[in-house]
Structure 1
Amino acid sequence: MSFDPILLMGGSGAIGRQAARAIQTIYPDVPLLIGGRDLSKAQNAAAEMGHAQGVALDTASADLGLGEQNVSAVVVLYKDHSLAGLRFAQSRGVPHLSISSGIFEIAPEIARFMHAPTASAIVLGYEWLVGATTVPALQLVKSFSQVDEIRIGALVDEEDTGGPAVAADFEHLNHLLPAALTLRDGIWLWREGDDAKTIFSALDGTEINAAGFSSIDVTGLAAATGARSVQFNLGQGVSSSRRKGGALSTEILLDISGLDNAGQALHTRHAVVHPGGAAPLTGMGIALILERLLGLDGKPPVAPGLYFPYQILDASHYLAHLAQEGGEVLDLASS
Structure 2
Amino acid sequence: MGGSGAIGHQTVRAIHATYPDLPLLIGGRELTRAQNAAAEYGGAEGVLIDAASADLGLGQRKISAVVVLYKDPSLAALRFAQSRGVPHLSISSGVFEIAPEIASFMNAPDAAALVLGYEWLVGATTVPALHLTKSFGQVDEIRIGALVDEEDIGGPAVAADFEHLNHLMPAALTRRDGVYLWREGSDTRVVFSALDGTQVDATGFSSIDVVGLASSTGAQNVQFDLGMGITSSRRRGGKFSTEIIIDISGLDLKGEALHTRHAVVHPGGAAQLTGMGIALLLARLVGLDGKPPVKAGLYFPYQILDASHYLARLAQEGGQLLALPTNLTSP
TM-score range relative to shorter protein? over 0.9
Q: Quick check: 1:150 aligned with 2:161?
A: no
Amino acid at match of 1:185: D
Quote the RMSD (CA, aligned, Å).
0.9
Q: Quick check: 1:264 aligned with 2:256?
A: yes
CA distance in 2, matches of 1:334, 1:59: 49
Per the alignment, residue 62 of structure 1 pairs with 54
Among candidates 219, 229, 233, match of residue 227 of structure 1: 219
The answer to whether the 8 A contact 2:51-2:76 is kept is yes
Q: CA deviation at 1:49?
A: 2.1
After TM superposition, the runs of 4+ consecutive aligned structure 1 residues lying more than 6 A away are: none
Per the alignment, residue 10 of structure 1 pairs with 2
**Corresponding residue pairs, total:** 327
Among candidates 185, 192, 196, match of residue 188 of structure 2: 196
CA distance in 2, matches of 1:263, 1:142: 13
Partner of 1:48, secondary structure, is: coil
**How does 1:151-300 map onto structure 2 within 5 Å?**
151-300=143-292
Deviation string 1:171-207 (CA, Å, 9 cap, x unpaired) is 0000000000000000100001000010100000000
Amino acid at match of 1:286: I
Amino acid at match of 2:99: A
Aligned-pair identity in percent equals 77
Amino acid at match of 1:253: I
Q: CA deviation at 1:334?
A: 7.8
Q: Quick check: 1:303 aligned with 2:295?
A: yes
CA distance in 2, matches of 1:331, 1:179: 31
CA distance in 1, matches of 2:135, 2:271: 30
Q: CA deviation at 1:265?
A: 0.7
The answer to whether the 8 A contact 2:173-2:183 is kept is yes
TM-score, scaled relative to structure 1: 0.97
Per the alignment, residue 21 of structure 1 pairs with 13
Q: Quick check: 1:74 aligned with 2:66?
A: yes
CA distance in 2, matches of 1:57, 1:292: 25
Per the alignment, residue 39 of structure 1 pairs with 31
Q: Which ranges of structure 2 fall in alignment gaps of 5 or more residues?
A: none
Q: Which ranges of structure 1 fall in alignment gaps of 5 or more residues?
A: 1-8
Among candidates 79, 87, 93, match of residue 85 of structure 2: 93
Per the alignment, residue 41 of structure 2 pairs with 49
**How does 1:318-333 map onto structure 2 within 5 Å?**
318-333=310-325
CA distance in 2, matches of 1:137, 1:246: 27
CA distance in 1, matches of 2:188, 2:233: 27
CA distance in 2, matches of 1:102, 1:122: 16
CA distance in 1, matches of 2:325, 2:133: 15
Partner of 1:318, secondary structure, is: helix
CA distance in 2, matches of 1:308, 1:199: 28
Q: CA deviation at 1:112?
A: 0.2
Q: CA deviation at 1:90?
A: 0.2
Q: CA deviation at 1:296?
A: 0.3
CA distance in 2, matches of 1:57, 1:140: 41
Amino acid at match of 1:177: M
Q: CA deviation at 1:48?
A: 1.5
Among candidates 83, 87, 92, match of residue 75 of structure 2: 83
Among candidates 130, 140, 143, match of residue 138 of structure 1: 130
Per the alignment, residue 116 of structure 1 pairs with 108
CA distance in 2, matches of 1:302, 1:226: 26
CA distance in 1, matches of 2:233, 2:38: 33
Q: Quick check: 1:30 aligned with 2:19?
A: no
